């Protein structure tokens, strides 16, 4: 596992898992939201170029998102996909909790951007996205797995499975 792509719907824990793998395996983590969102939630002009640059390297971990801009670039360069295929109720609890904490604390997310409760009304807000796109994201992930048969795929169906898998990775890296 040298080039790891973490897949899953918004709120499934992609970035959290990527950070844990970064620490555990000493991989550079490239957070796609931080690369994508410029000030004022505008897409950064260099987004695709930045992703192209890091993903051509030998070692990295990142999240599977922004397919309209990136296509299958990351899928074609990864050696491992970890799919957080969590149940919808688990995802929804996580994404609502995360969004509430972000809106209440007004913590800076990326490049000066902060989430507000007003953002919850937008069609592309993670809460609405996770609910409306849950089934489609699962289907698209299965399609991508079929198109990239050379990838090692780790499908984790619960937070407990994810924790046990991380523990296995931890023991293997010692």
Domains and CATH numbers, the chain: 3-87+137-173 (3.40.50.300)
> What is the C-alpha separation between 70 and 87, in angstroms, rounded?
26
- What value does the mean pLDDT of the chain take? 95
> What is the C-alpha separation between 102 and 117, in angstroms, rounded?
9
Gyration radius (Cα) of the chain, Å? 16
Residue that is written with structure tokens 């051509």 in the block: 56
Give the pLDDT band (50/70/90) at residue 170. Answer: confident
> Which residue, 99, 61, 104, is CA-closest to 81?
61
**pTM of this prediction?**
0.93
- Partners of 5 in the beta sheet? 62, 81
Determine phi and psi for 83, rounding to 5 degrees.
-100, 115
Helix (H) or strand (E) holding 100: helix 88-105
Give the pLDDT band (50/70/90) at residue 172. Answer: confident
CA distances from 9 to 15, 58, 152 (A): 11, 26, 19
């Amino acid at each position: 596992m040298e080039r790891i792509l973490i897949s899953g719907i918004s709120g499934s824990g992609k970035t959290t898992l990527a950070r844990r793998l970064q620490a555990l395996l000493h991989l550079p983590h490239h957070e796609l939201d931080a690369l994508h969102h410029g000030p004022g939630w505008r897409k950064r002009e260099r987004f695709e170029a930045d992703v192209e640059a890091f993903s051509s390297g030998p070692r990295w971990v990142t999240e599977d998102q922004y397919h309209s801009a990136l296509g299958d670039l990351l899928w074609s360069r990864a050696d491992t996909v970890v799919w957080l295929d969590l149940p919808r109720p688990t995802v929804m609890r996580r994404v609502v909790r995360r969004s509430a904490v972000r809106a209440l604390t007004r913590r800076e997310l990326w490049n000066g951007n902060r989430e507000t409760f007003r953002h919850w009304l937008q069609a592309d807000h993670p809460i609405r996205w996770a609910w409306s796109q849950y089934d489609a994201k699962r289907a698209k992930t299965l399609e991508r797995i079929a198109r990239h048969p050379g990838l090692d795929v780790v499908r984790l169906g619960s937070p407990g499975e994810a924790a046990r898998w991380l523990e296995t990775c931890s023991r293997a890296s010692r």
